[in-house]
Amino acid sequence: MEKRRGFEVAKGWEDKGINIPVRKTKHSAGYDVEAAEDTIIPPFKSGSKPTLVHTGLKAYCQDDEWFLLANRSGGPAKKNLVLANGIGIVDADYYGNPDNDGEFMYAFYNIGSEPVEIKKGERIGQVVFQKFLIVDNDITTDETRKGGFGSTGK
């Protein structure tokens, strides 16, 4: 079978009980993603960096596709968690990168006043696969990704 898009356990997480994401209903657009380990997310303070929550997963897709990392609909209301970047956009060439094998993570800020505990196996977000379009006279480089999180253009 040809691999078109899907999930795999990232290197270093093989024996950690990582579950491959699934859609909960036949009409769900997103695949529910779980936390790979327990994580505490402290309340936001000015100048603080977001807390990265590991998934232990990598995802592959076609060259003209990308995937969206979205918060769960109840994240802000129930847990006071917001994605630091609003949404996460992950390009096809992130898969298998040399820094972290393409493991994608969720970057959260806690907008509440108390620390939030995320437990291993708790659903933290969704992944939605998408096609992308390019403009007329598109100009890009033949540059190859050389790293993981935040590495584009470095």
DSSP H helices, 1-154, are none
Q: Which residue has the higher pLDDT, 7 or 152?
A: 7
Cα–Cα distance, 154 to 146 (Å, whole number): 8
pLDDT (tens digit, 9 = 90+) per residue, 2-47? 899 999 999 999 999 999 999 999 999 999 999 999 999 999 999 9
Contacts with 104 (C-beta within 8 Å, 6 or more apart), sequence order? 55, 57, 58, 59, 69, 88, 90, 94, 127
Instruction: Specify the DSSP class assigned to residue 48.
Output: P
Residue 89: which H helix or E strand, with range?
strand 88-91
pLDDT (tens digit, 9 = 90+) per residue, 90-146? 999 999 999 999 999 999 999 999 999 999 999 999 999 999 999 999 988 777 656
pLDDT (tens digit, 9 = 90+) per residue, 76-94? 889 999 999 988 999 999 9
Q: Where are the domains of the chain?
A: 6-131
Nearest Cα residue to 123 out of 59, 58, 78, 61: 78
| Topology of domain 6-131, CATH | Deoxyuridine 5'-Triphosphate Nucleotidohydrolase; Chain A (2.70.40)
> Percentage of the chain surpassing pLDDT 70?
92
Residue 152 has pLDDT above 80, yes or no: no
Token pair of 39, please?
């994580």
Cα–Cα distance, 73 to 112 (Å, whole number): 16
Token pair of 41, please?
């997310």
In what order do the strands lie in the sheet containing 51-54?
A: 51-54, 105-110, 81-83
Length of the chain: 154
State residue 5's pLDDT score.
Answer: 97
Residue 68 has pLDDT above 80, yes or no: yes
State residue 74's pLDDT score.
Answer: 83
State residue 151's pLDDT score.
Answer: 52
Under 8 Å between Cβ of 123 and 52: no
Residue 59 has pLDDT above 60, yes or no: yes
pLDDT (tens digit, 9 = 90+) per residue, 42-51? 999 999 999 9
The pTM for the full model equals: 0.89
**């993570």: which residue's tokens?**
105
Cα–Cα distance, 39 to 53 (Å, whole number): 7
